[in-house]
Chain A
Amino acid sequence: MKTQTGSVRFESVVKKYGQVTALKKLDLSIEPGKLVTLLGPSGCGKTTTLRLIAGLEMATEGRIHIGGEDVTHLTATYRKVSMVFQSYALFPHMSVRENVAYGLTVKSIPKAEAAQKADSGLELVGLSGYGDRLPSELSGGQQQRVAVARAIVLEPEVLLLDEPLSNLDAKLRRHVREEIRRIQQRLGLTAVYVTHDQEEAMAVSDEIIVMNNAEIAQIGSPSDLYEAPKSAFIADFIGDANLVPCEVEAITDTLASAMLDGQKLNVPNNGIGKGTAQMVLRPHALSLSAPGATGLQGQISYAAYLGKEMQYTVETPVGPLFIIAPVQANPFAQGDSVSVEILEEQARLVSA
């Protein structure tokens, strides 16, 4: 199966519903063959963006290009994109094969040819032999794959996926997302994937577009976002993070010295100027020891044993800190006084 994979470009796209602005002046560009995720909390505009690409919503202002062609005024019917829906949206009155062949038959492709293409699509998602069943006779994961097959047999320029895993249980989710990624890479498809689950986004994407309040908060590869968050929002949204206010006092080429609760810490310089800032402390970037002279002094207010690790909440002068520590022979207990050590090279600075 071949595809003519296409790029997606938004030029100053604005979407308003009456008085409500769903998207503020969005500029973005997605390269052919990449899987790009739109990630963000609910109501951030990620689904609106996806529906604008699909043509299910029309831009209020700005222009949209797909595969180099201006499609701003084309409705969904005439755009070469197809979409996998959160609810799968399989037609309940059609067999699996009829579902997959639907897009082909509405293009007046002969029935036999459409059925044949549908079968090869089903084979691609590992469902050969299920063509005669009704969608209601398949499990959730299988229905999901039928929805993917139905979208890719049309050889779209762009494949859109709207929270495709949210109706699956946690264990199946990992399996299906690997499957989607494998098919996308094998076919070299351009894919736009919407999710609110940051772990899922990190696992499948070439690039992640994090959205917040109807605009883009940061674009980058999964490791960029985790390692170099540009704002407190990103730091907090991608992975767990403790955000602690600090004062940047001096900057060198590679390091920035920041004062945190009277302690001077030398953390990597990621472009923050002098003055008030926030320090991003990942739960793994903090270690606990018995009370001592160095580190933040605190008291454990909550301790949980999770098998592979310990999770602690520690009350410190800079506020409660969430810490993950390996399981030890004698873990700390609630009420213990401890000293929190900050691993300086793993800390990051973001603006306050």
Chain B
Amino acid sequence: MKQTVLIWLAAGLASFALLPWHMTDDGLLDPAWVNDGAPSSGLSIVLSGGWWLAPAGLALGAALALQVLIAEPVRRARLTLGTAVAGLTFMAIQGLIIVRAGPRLFEGILTGETILAGQPGMGAGAGICALALLFAGTISLSQSGKGQGDAFVVSTIGLIVALVAIFVFFPVIHILVRAFEVDGGYALNKFFPRFFSSDIWGLGCLVSDRSCGVGMNSLFLAVMTGVGTTLLGLSFALIFTRTEFRAKKFLRVLTVLPIITPPFVIGLALILLFGRAGTVTEFFADLLGWEATRWLYGFWGVYFAQLLSFTPIAFLVLIGVVQGVSPSMEEASQTLDADRWQTFRFVSLPLMRPGLANAFLLGFIESLADFGNPLVLGSGYNVLSTDIYFAIVGAVADPAKAAILAIALLTLTLSAFIAQRIWLGKKSYATITGKADSGQNASLNPVLKWVCYGTALPWAALTLVVYSMIIFGSFVKLWGYNHSFTLDHYIRAFGIDFTTGRWTGVAWDSYFTTLTISSVAAPLTALVGLSTAYLLVRQKFVGKDAFEFSTMLSFAIPGTVIGVSYIMAFNFPPIELTGTSIILIIVFVFRNMPVGVRGGIAAMSQLDRSLDEASITLGANSFTTVRRVILPLMGPAILAALTYSFVRAITSVSAVIFLVSAKHNMATSFIVGRVENGEFGLAIAYSAVLIITMLTAILLLQLLVGTRRLRRSDRVQTA
């Protein structure tokens, strides 16, 4: 252990002395910072007057000295811990105070030429120094207590807490601060009138022609979507689990669709069908002489699109819930002479109640956070997520307004999230006892069965039509006007000039950027998510509940809010990331982490804890246990986390749209641009390619899981 601390401290000191402390313009790999003669490393900056960096170097040096000089382990560990904490605190303070334009606070005290010149964002040197101090601190912490800690576990906790603090809490706090800002100063009393203004919460639409506030619009839409998706999802789930319906496999496919559908696709397909020049609209216009209207571009259009987008999620949740109702309870009810309707009404339905609430809250949160559908269809119906976007990129950029709207949106989603936690925390799914339950679930009462068929099947058919529109629409010249077959859209997007070998398509750049960034982000997401799951399931530590809550929090923060907070927080020192590809990777990792955590928790709960304990009592430490016992047994969960975070990174738009740059454009934001230009054909063609890309990725990974299983059963047979 002492060795590990020594190595970290030595690495920290070396990077303090040698590597550029600040971010270099050309990147670390460009040797310009070595040659240009300006002081770049922490040490050389200190020597040329940048005294505020000295504490970091001193802390590293002092900690190293402590390691060498003090023999008594507990005292050594405690002193090292203190030194590391002090060093990190000083680093954070100097970074927050001294920015590019010089000191932000204490201008009276902090004078001098070098300090007034300011400093750029932290770079490789600062990063490694901070890591060195962090790990020296966490390893020492594990040595200083009552022998509770394992260095690997404490270090992992420390790292994840630090990352979540920097990349989730720090940006959100920035938004809060921004919302209090008034003309360069801060005023508490201005916040409340702005937050509670009728622009956000007004109910004017109920009593007059004026429109309601955006917050109210969002809330109303979210409640409607939550109710609608839950009812439709329940219909599907009942058909899937309680009837003899033949095409159950087809229903299963529905559950995969929302995961691989880029965000605007449903909106676009609806425009092609029901827009003013849409097929269905024109058909009815011809047949009945109705006048084509713009009804789709408003509440009903967005609602319709959200129902299509989020019903599969409710379906997925409710399959588990409906299956979770123990057959023996229904059989008990039937032996007590209840008929099928009574059994459903008084036994099954009440048992599903927590699951229904969960499905509703999921639909509610998804609807609030939804950005793609309102952007494409919501021109007549303002909601928070798109208004935040327009407040940043619109004609009149108003970051303070964006911050206020973001807080309003965050308040709504967090309330729902907390309500869900409280609700589900109290209810136990007592029907899942862990005992194998034989017996058969009651089939549905005929009326109910036909109600389910009557709602779910037309809906499934509509979904099918919408998706086939995507394929169809990408092959016609100009939808609604010229339906002749063409490959133009694909050629324009993905053309390759074979004579010169050039990638002439306009979409290639963003396509490759998307694939690269997603492939980098996916393993990192899986790593962070699964490590967190391991800590939550298998380790006991102080503040575990708060830790779990904070890691799940980023699920409740809508993408637009994350996007806005990231550009507010990481646009200037100490952490200056906007315009880089790193910020895109980071945003994906922390947005998708909760999914990895949930998947990891589910998988790890199935591994008996005694396996870990057996490994530990046999003399392995936590790291060896994770590497040799847990990871090999979690193969499928790891692949699922990888697939999911890869696919989510491809389809994500809400956060990304704020963070892309000319150099690093992503597929979804490219598509938004095409939609805004009215190039629907190209947008749809690109979406179709994305869907195929994701399906391929999913199938490849499934195949990997499949072959793994085969090999194990081979081994069983030959042995």
Q: Tell me the A residues contacting B by CB distance below 8 Å.
A: 54-56, 58, 72-79, 81-83, 85-87, 89-93, 102-103, 106-107, 132-134, 136-137, 150-151, 154, 160
Please name 13 further chain A to chain B contacts, defined as beta carbons within 8 Å, in addition to the given A75-B616, A132-B719, sorted by A numbering: A54-B617, A72-B147, A73-B146, A85-B610, A87-B608, A89-B610, A89-B614, A90-B614, A91-B629, A93-B712, A102-B618, A106-B624, A134-B715
Interface string of B120-155 (1 = CB under 8 A from A): 000000000000000000000000001110100000
Closest to A74 in B: B147
Give the chain B neighbours of A92 by CB distance below 8 A. Answer: 633
From residue A9, how far is it (CB to closest CB) to chain B in Å? Answer: 18
Give the chain B neighbours of A81 by CB distance below 8 A. Answer: 617
Give the chain A neighbours of B716 by CB distance below 8 A. Answer: 134, 136-137
Interface string of B605-620 (1 = CB under 8 A from A): 0001011011111111
Structural contact, B619 and A83, CB atoms closer than 8 A? no
Give the chain B neighbours of A79 by CB distance below 8 A. Answer: 617
Find B613's partner among A72, A85, A103, A132 (CB 8 Å cutoff).
A85
Find B617's partner among A55, A93, A136, A137 (CB 8 Å cutoff).
A55
Q: A91-B629, A92-B633, A134-B715 are in contact. Are A77 and B611 (CB under 8 A)?
A: no
From residue A192, how far is it (CB to closest CB) to chain B in Å? Answer: 13
Pick 25 A–B contacts, CB within 8 A, sort by A. Answer: A54-B617, A56-B613, A56-B616, A58-B146, A72-B147, A73-B147, A77-B150, A77-B616, A77-B621, A82-B618, A82-B619, A85-B613, A85-B614, A86-B610, A89-B610, A91-B611, A93-B632, A93-B712, A106-B620, A106-B624, A137-B716, A137-B719, A150-B614, A154-B619, A160-B617
Query: Please, how many angstroms separate the alpha-carbon atoms of A82 and B618 in the complex?
Result: 6
List 7 A-B pairs, minimum CB-CB distance, nearest first.
A73-B147, A103-B618, A89-B614, A89-B610, A106-B620, A83-B617, A85-B610
Interface hits, B629-655 → A, CB 8 Å:
629, 632-633
Query: Please, how many angstroms separate the alpha-carbon atoms of A54 and B619 in the complex?
Result: 11
From residue B397, how far is it (CB to closest CB) to chain A in Å? Answer: 52
Structural contact, B150 and A106, CB atoms closer than 8 A? no
Give the chain B neighbours of A107 by CB distance below 8 A. Answer: 619
Query: Please, how many angstroms separate the alpha-carbon atoms of A132 and B624 in the complex?
Result: 23
Structural contact, A150 and B719, CB atoms closer than 8 A? no
Give the chain A neighbours of B712 by CB distance below 8 A. Answer: 93
Query: Please, how many angstroms separate the alpha-carbon atoms of A58 and B712 in the complex?
Result: 38
Q: A77-B620, A102-B618, A150-B618 are in contact. Are A83 and B147 (CB under 8 A)?
A: no
Structural contact, B719 and A134, CB atoms closer than 8 A? yes
Interface residues on B, range: 20 to 34
From residue B545, how far is it (CB to closest CB) to chain A in Å? Answer: 13
Query: Please, how many angstroms separate the alpha-carbon atoms of A152 and B613 in the complex?
Result: 16
Which of A76, A150, A160 is the most central at the interface, judged by chain B CB atoms within 10 Å of its CB? Answer: A76
From residue B133, how far is it (CB to closest CB) to chain A in Å? Answer: 25
From residue A275, how far is it (CB to closest CB) to chain B in Å? Answer: 47
From residue B33, how far is it (CB to closest CB) to chain A in Å? Answer: 42
Give the chain B neighbours of A136 by CB distance below 8 A. Answer: 716
From residue B602, how far is it (CB to closest CB) to chain A in Å? Answer: 18
Query: Please, how many angstroms separate the alpha-carbon atoms of A73 and B146 in the complex?
Result: 6
From residue A100, how far is it (CB to closest CB) to chain B in Å? Answer: 10
Query: Please, how many angstroms separate the alpha-carbon atoms of A82 and B615 in the complex?
Result: 10
Closest to B633 in A: A93
Give the chain A neighbours of B620 by CB distance below 8 A. Answer: 77, 102-103, 106
Closest to A58 in B: B148
Give the chain B neighbours of A85 by CB distance below 8 A. Answer: 610, 613-614
Q: Tell me the B residues contacting A by CB distance below 8 Å.
A: 146-148, 150, 608, 610-611, 613-622, 624, 628-629, 632-633, 712, 715-716, 719
Closest to A103 in B: B618
Structural contact, A82 and B617, CB atoms closer than 8 A? yes
Query: Please, how many angstroms separate the alpha-carbon atoms of A296 and B619 in the complex?
Result: 61
Give the chain A neighbours of B618 by CB distance below 8 A. Answer: 82, 102-103, 106, 150-151, 154
From residue B539, how far is it (CB to closest CB) to chain A in Å? Answer: 12
Give the chain A neighbours of B633 by CB distance below 8 A. Answer: 91-93
Which of A85, A137, A160 is the most central at the interface, judged by chain B CB atoms within 10 Å of its CB? Answer: A85
Q: A87-B608, A87-B610 are in contact. Are A75 and B619 (CB under 8 A)?
A: no
Structural contact, A133 and B719, CB atoms closer than 8 A? yes
Query: Please, how many angstroms separate the alpha-carbon atoms of A78 and B1 in the complex?
Result: 13
Structural contact, B613 and A76, CB atoms closer than 8 A? yes
Which of B608, B611, B616 is the most central at the interface, judged by chain A CB atoms within 10 Å of its CB? Answer: B616
Structural contact, A58 and B610, CB atoms closer than 8 A? no
Give the chain A neighbours of B150 by CB distance below 8 A. Answer: 75, 77
Give the chain B neighbours of A73 by CB distance below 8 A. Answer: 146-147
From residue B269, how far is it (CB to closest CB) to chain A in Å? Answer: 45
Structural contact, A89 and B147, CB atoms closer than 8 A? no
Find A76's partner among B608, B616, B719 (CB 8 Å cutoff).
B616
Closest to B632 in A: A93
Give the chain B neighbours of A132 by CB distance below 8 A. Answer: 719
Query: Please, how many angstroms separate the alpha-carbon atoms of A72 and B614 in the complex?
Result: 20
Give the chain A neighbours of B619 by CB distance below 8 A. Answer: 77-78, 82, 103, 106-107, 154
Structural contact, A102 and B615, CB atoms closer than 8 A? yes
Query: Please, how many angstroms separate the alpha-carbon atoms of A347 and B406 in the complex?
Result: 81
Give the chain B neighbours of A154 by CB distance below 8 A. Answer: 618-619
From residue A274, how far is it (CB to closest CB) to chain B in Å? Answer: 49
Query: Please, how many angstroms separate the alpha-carbon atoms of A107 and B619 in the complex?
Result: 7
Closest to A86 in B: B610
Structural contact, B617 and A56, CB atoms closer than 8 A? yes
Query: Please, how many angstroms separate the alpha-carbon atoms of A85 and B620 in the complex?
Result: 16
Which of B150, B608, B614, B719 is the most central at the interface, judged by chain A CB atoms within 10 Å of its CB? Answer: B614
From residue B544, how far is it (CB to closest CB) to chain A in Å? Answer: 13
Structural contact, B621 and A83, CB atoms closer than 8 A? no
Query: Please, how many angstroms separate the alpha-carbon atoms of A154 and B617 in the complex?
Result: 10
Give the chain A neighbours of B719 by CB distance below 8 A. Answer: 132-134, 137
From residue A221, how far is it (CB to closest CB) to chain B in Å? Answer: 28
Which of B148, B619, B715, B719 is the most central at the interface, judged by chain A CB atoms within 10 Å of its CB? Answer: B619
From residue A254, how far is it (CB to closest CB) to chain B in Å? Answer: 49
Give the chain A neighbours of B146 by CB distance below 8 A. Answer: 58, 73
Give the chain A neighbours of B632 by CB distance below 8 A. Answer: 93
From residue B537, how far is it (CB to closest CB) to chain A in Å? Answer: 16
Query: Please, how many angstroms separate the alpha-carbon atoms of A203 and B610 in the complex?
Result: 26
Give the chain B neighbours of A75 by CB distance below 8 A. Answer: 147-148, 150, 616
From residue B521, how far is it (CB to closest CB) to chain A in Å? Answer: 28
Give the chain B neighbours of A74 by CB distance below 8 A. Answer: 147
From residue B276, how far is it (CB to closest CB) to chain A in Å? Answer: 60
Structural contact, B613 and A58, CB atoms closer than 8 A? no
Query: Please, how many angstroms separate the alpha-carbon atoms of A106 and B621 in the complex?
Result: 9
Give the chain A neighbours of B622 by CB distance below 8 A. Answer: 77
From residue A84, how far is it (CB to closest CB) to chain B in Å? Answer: 9
From residue B708, how far is it (CB to closest CB) to chain A in Å? Answer: 11
Closest to A90 in B: B614
From residue A27, how far is it (CB to closest CB) to chain B in Å? Answer: 20
Query: Please, how many angstroms separate the alpha-carbon atoms of A89 and B617 in the complex?
Result: 11
Give the chain A neighbours of B624 by CB distance below 8 A. Answer: 106
From residue A191, how far is it (CB to closest CB) to chain B in Å? Answer: 14
Closest to B616 in A: A76
From residue B622, how far is it (CB to closest CB) to chain A in Å? Answer: 8
Query: Please, how many angstroms separate the alpha-carbon atoms of A76 and B712 in the complex?
Result: 31
Query: Please, how many angstroms separate the alpha-carbon atoms of A59 and B450 in the complex?
Result: 62
Give the chain A neighbours of B621 by CB distance below 8 A. Answer: 77
Closest to A95 in B: B719
From residue A207, how far is it (CB to closest CB) to chain B in Å? Answer: 23
Query: Please, how many angstroms separate the alpha-carbon atoms of A73 and B149 in the complex?
Result: 10
Query: Please, how many angstroms separate the alpha-carbon atoms of A169 and B146 in the complex?
Result: 42
Query: Please, how many angstroms separate the alpha-carbon atoms of A154 and B620 in the complex?
Result: 12
Give the chain A neighbours of B611 by CB distance below 8 A. Answer: 89, 91
From residue B709, how far is it (CB to closest CB) to chain A in Å? Answer: 12
From residue A104, how far is it (CB to closest CB) to chain B in Å? Answer: 9
Give the chain B neighbours of A103 by CB distance below 8 A. Answer: 618-620
From residue A59, how far is it (CB to closest CB) to chain B in Å? Answer: 9
Query: Please, how many angstroms separate the alpha-carbon atoms of A73 and B628 in the complex?
Result: 25
Query: Please, how many angstroms separate the alpha-carbon atoms of A74 and B146 in the complex?
Result: 9
Give the chain B neighbours of A58 by CB distance below 8 A. Answer: 146-148
Query: Please, how many angstroms separate the alpha-carbon atoms of A102 and B147 in the complex?
Result: 24
